[in-house]
Amino acid sequence: MRFLMYVVAALLPFLLKGYVSWLIGLALIYATISISWAILENEGRVSMGHSFVVGSSAYLSAITYLLFNSLAAGFLISIPLSAILFYILKRTTGKTAFVFATFTLSLLSYVIAPYIVIGERGGEEGFFILHDLPSLLFSSFSFVASAIVFESFLKSKLGYFARAIKSDELASRAVGIEVEKVKLTTSVISSAIGSFAGLSLALYFSHVSPEIFSLEVSVFPFISYVVTGGRKEYIAFTSIVLFLISSYLNALLTGAHLLLYAMLLIFSPKIGGWVYAKGQERLKV
């Protein structure tokens, strides 16, 4: 059922026209970011630095495009770069410290990005990418592919081991789960999906700027997760709806979407509890 919903969501931009089509296509990219984030959460790691994964992919793709006329080179570099950094943070920090470590990584990226200059390009203006690739098709394909990987991950032995580590890492080691291998694998999968999202954003706007490292990009998946009541399997659909609502509010009043995010975070325990309770009621029925 969810697979069909993923496909319908991916087809919507092609069935609609104009700004609405463009906006839904962008919502699919943000949903892909949330899927990447949820892979780590399944292991018990809450990332507040996912803008680094997305931004490094976009920036490296733009830079290698500028230097070597190759988007793929930067994209491929970004996957092991993000995976290794996140794995190192997993090895050196606990679950709580991981949140702050990734948050710091996101902030540092945002601060450093304006100083990335190649020749006369870059800086606060960022990099422009002139291409004729079908960016909407690429974004939709990336979303569906990421959703399929995510669903397969949740049902796989790897996903089960990741949840076991989230529950009790010491007990997981005791029963023979290769904890470090699981941590590395989830880091790679999450980074690959996040890198696809970053490349999708670069293609979608034909431009990359320091704003891609903004805190908003990092916080968005967490807020989407909160709204699902912790049921991460629905995070993609929640992300699409949340993004569309926040974009509408921002169109009415600049910055209003940030107020929405703040309110959702403030009332997150009640919202999550209510959604979870409703989900349990449906399961009983």
Span 258-284, average pLDDT: 60
Q: What pLDDT does 265 receive?
A: 76
Residue 176 main-chain phi, psi, to 5 deg: 100, 10
What stretches of 170-271 adopt beta strand conformation (E)? Answer: 207-208
pLDDT tens string 23-68? 999 999 999 999 999 999 999 999 999 999 999 999 999 999 999 9
Of 251 and 81, the structure prediction assigns the larger pLDDT to 81
Confidence (pLDDT) at 226? 87
Cα 209 to chain centroid distance, Å, stands at: 18
Q: How far apart are CA 19 and CA 27, in angstroms?
A: 12
Phi-psi region of 160 (alpha: psi -120 to 50; beta: other; left: phi over 0): alpha
Whole-model pTM above 0.85? Answer: yes
Contact predicate 105/51, CB 8 Å: no
Say if residue 278's pLDDT is above 50.
Answer: no
pLDDT tens for 69-90 read: 999 999 999 999 999 999 999 9
pLDDT of residue 280: 45
Alpha carbon distance 97, 101 (integer Å): 6
